Amino acid sequence: MKRTWWKEAVVYQVYWRSFFDSNGDGYGDLEGLIQKLDYIRDLGIDVIWLNPCYESPDKDNGYDISDYYRIMDKAGDMETFDRLLHEVHKRGMKLIMDLVVNHTSDQHPWFIESRSSKNNPKRDWYIWRDKPNNWRSYFTPSAWEYDEQTGQYYFHSFAVEQPDLNWENEEVREEIYKMMRFWLDKGIDGFRLDAIALLAKPKGFPDAENPYDIRYLTNNPGVHDYLQEMHEKVLKHYDIFTVGEVAFVSPEEGLKYVGEDRNELHTLFHFEVCDEMPTWDPIRFKQIQKRWYEGLWGKGWNSQFLNNHDHTRQVTRYGNDKQFRVESAKLLATLVHTLPGTPYIYQGEEIGMTGVKFDSIDDYNDIAMKNKYAEEVAKGRDPKEVLESLQLLSRDNSRTPMQWDDSEHAGFTTGTPWLKVNPNYKEINVKQALADPNSVYYYYKKLIQLRKQNPVMVYGTFRDLSENEPYIYAYTRELDGVRWLIVLNHCDSDNVYTLPEETSSASRRLLLGNYTDVKEEGTTLHMRPHEARIYALQ
């Protein structure tokens, strides 16, 4: 297997508007990130993934771009960005930018021109039709919006304010490639490509048999032609890292995006866990991991994550954020960092930050949640019930401000935060974590160091030893005669695990555990709630 710097990297996602506010306006900013770079470096991070900071009306928190060549005022300016990039590189880290090329803002000059008349040269830069089909978008009941000025409908896979670009138009593609080269020539180290599987649209836009199953938006014929062209004209000319957001994809289809012989992307985010497993399902999770390992290993590269800016914090959704918050946060970290693929850390995950339940829809900012709430209430459903049904998976669970200390607003801002701070910031914050040698933070640091010092964590083969176990997840990683055993008790109660014969005869050395007092027990392991252990086998 080819060894590369990006396979060995640990990535830290910065949702900058919630990270650190340097000027008291209530929004995090690039200057705030610069001030916290030492914190990220000290954790052991190799790559920072920066969420979109381009010029934007901010209808979807920066994923509606109105100018690809400018930095939005909330984030700072280009001079600050250039300084950020310099400071990241000075500390030995790399920076990848989140880039949206499936759609723009409706305030982008391209779309303003496109909608001005049917005869405008940029009319075909977007998708216009006389009649809509029955498709839904991710955020709204219809993927089409009527434009009174020209009497046609434009297509939007997400919000009304986010019209899709027409990738069939060669001029569009060339303009996108030109823009990508602009950022890469600045020295950034790659892209996280948002909604990249949506670039190609089904021919003719036929009605869907079931419009609520929006898989018709993704992975359509032509998408790989576009990505191979992007690679040929842009990506292959730089030593960078690319990761694509690819929903509704199987390992077989995923390999087309990341196969090392395909010349498309380096790795991908699939969402069989985060989009399709609302709560913890151990048997299904193991099946997903095994299928993706068998589908990609030796041919392409996977990513490991359980939360991000779009998905509820992992300790709330897949762990126990109350009775065993610290233990389950460490267990989930062990899982992500020891399974095959590149591990991603979402800001605050490393201190065990949790999701949130606000009392009113007015306290939420998530456009997808607010649109769904309005749609359901309009049908006559009880508003309280609707709110409760949407809270667990609201994107705002992960977007509440970073909790730096126990001062007002968790030390995030001296102003009024753009989104309410989680009330538990008094107990859960960076200051507290750095003062406690047994904190979640220091466990992450140890995990990252283990990965840097032991190639088996990166390149080792994977074997599940516990496929039918409902609570225990045990697996091995093996490389060049080095064999590790990982055992996780993903449960609120004690469990006993008897080692299989292939590992029971080996001597074991505990490398890392999330309980401080682990006793060696022969071939039967007595695992406490949310206990995680990493062994070297000899």
Separation between Cα atoms, residue 422 and residue 420, nearest integer Å: 6
Q: What is the pLDDT of residues 443-500, one digit of tens each?
A: 999 999 999 999 999 999 999 999 889 999 999 999 999 999 999 999 999 999 999 8
Separation between Cα atoms, residue 263 and residue 235, nearest integer Å: 9
Contact between residue 238 and residue 184 where contact means Cβ atoms under 8 Å apart: yes
Quick one: tokens of 406? 């126990």
Q: What is the pLDDT of residues 217-262, one digit of tens each?
A: 999 999 999 999 999 999 999 999 999 999 999 999 999 999 999 9
Average pLDDT over residues 23-44: 98
The pLDDT value recorded for residue 67 is 98
Pick from 328, 342, 349: which is nearest to 532 by CA?
328
Pick from 142, 156, 133, 135: which is nearest to 213 by CA?
135
Give Dmax over CA atoms of the chain in angstroms.
78
Average pLDDT over residues 367-385: 94
Separation between Cα atoms, residue 237 and residue 231, nearest integer Å: 8
Angle at 244 between CA 238 and CA 250, to 5 degrees: 135
Residues in Cβ contact with 426 at an 8 Å cutoff, skipping those fewer than 6 apart: 406
The pLDDT value recorded for residue 504 is 79
Which of 64-78, 199-213, 363-377 is the least confident region? 363-377
Right CATH for 458-537 from 2.60.40.1180, 1.20.58.340, 3.40.50.410, 1.20.1090.10: 2.60.40.1180
Task: Domain ranges for the chain, please list them.
Answer: 10-102+169-205+241-447, 109-155, 458-537
Angle at 346 between CA 340 and CA 350, to 5 degrees: 90
The pLDDT value recorded for residue 235 is 98
Strand ranges for 45-164 from DSSP E? 47-50, 54-55, 67-71, 94-100, 128-129, 144-147, 152-155
Separation between Cα atoms, residue 235 and residue 184, nearest integer Å: 9
The pLDDT value recorded for residue 32 is 98
Q: Where are the alpha helices (DSSP H) in 132-274?
A: 170-186, 223-233, 251-258
Separation between Cα atoms, residue 510 and residue 494, nearest integer Å: 19
In the predicted model, is pLDDT for residue 417 greater than 80? Answer: yes
Separation between Cα atoms, residue 108 and residue 55, nearest integer Å: 9
Pick from 203, 202, 201, 205: which is nearest to 129 by CA?
205
Residue 23 CB neighbours (<10 A)? 14
- CA torsion through residues 285, 270, 441, 445, sign: positive
Right CATH for 109-155 from 3.40.50.300, 3.90.400.10, 3.40.640.10, 3.30.70.120: 3.90.400.10
Identity of the amino acid at 361:
I
The secondary structure element, H or E, covering residue 74 is none
In the predicted model, is pLDDT for residue 339 greater than 90? Answer: yes
The pLDDT value recorded for residue 110 is 98
Q: Regarding predicted confidence, which is higher, 482 or 393?
A: 482
SS3 483: strand
Separation between Cα atoms, residue 391 and residue 312, nearest integer Å: 9
In the predicted model, is pLDDT for residue 505 greater than 80? Answer: no
Contact between residue 108 and residue 66 where contact means Cβ atoms under 8 Å apart: yes
Separation between Cα atoms, residue 97 and residue 92, nearest integer Å: 17
Write out the catalytic residue numbers: 194, 245
The pLDDT value recorded for residue 522 is 84
Taking CA atoms, 404 is separated from 12, 21, 315, 410, in Å, by 16, 11, 18, 6
Taking CA atoms, 131 is separated from 147, 152, 365, 437, in Å, by 11, 7, 32, 62
Average pLDDT over residues 257-270: 97
Contact between residue 492 and residue 531 where contact means Cβ atoms under 8 Å apart: no
DSSP state of 232: H
Average pLDDT over residues 108-134: 98
CA 489 to chain centroid, in Å, comes to 25
Average pLDDT over residues 408-417: 98
Pick from 90, 22, 14, 20: which is nearest to 53 by CA?
14
Residue 385 CB neighbours (<10 A)? 11
User: Bridge partners of 484?
Assistant: 477, 536
CA R_g for the chain = 23
Q: Which CATH class is domain 10-102+169-205+241-447?
A: alpha beta
* Numbers of helices and strands, H then E, in the chain: 16, 20
The pLDDT value recorded for residue 525 is 94
Pick from 7, 2, 28, 34: which is nearest to 16 by CA?
28
Pick from 78, 75, 94, 79: which is nearest to 33 by CA?
75
Average pLDDT over residues 91-117: 98
DSSP state of 534: E
Percent of the chain scoring above 90 in pLDDT:
96
Tokens 């095959």 -> residue: 340
The interaxial angle of helices 325-338 and 440-453, nearest 10 deg, is 20
The pLDDT value recorded for residue 501 is 85
Contact between residue 72 and residue 64 where contact means Cβ atoms under 8 Å apart: no
Sheet-wide strand order for 342-346: 267-269, 241-245, 190-194, 94-100, 47-50, 11-14, 342-346, 303-304
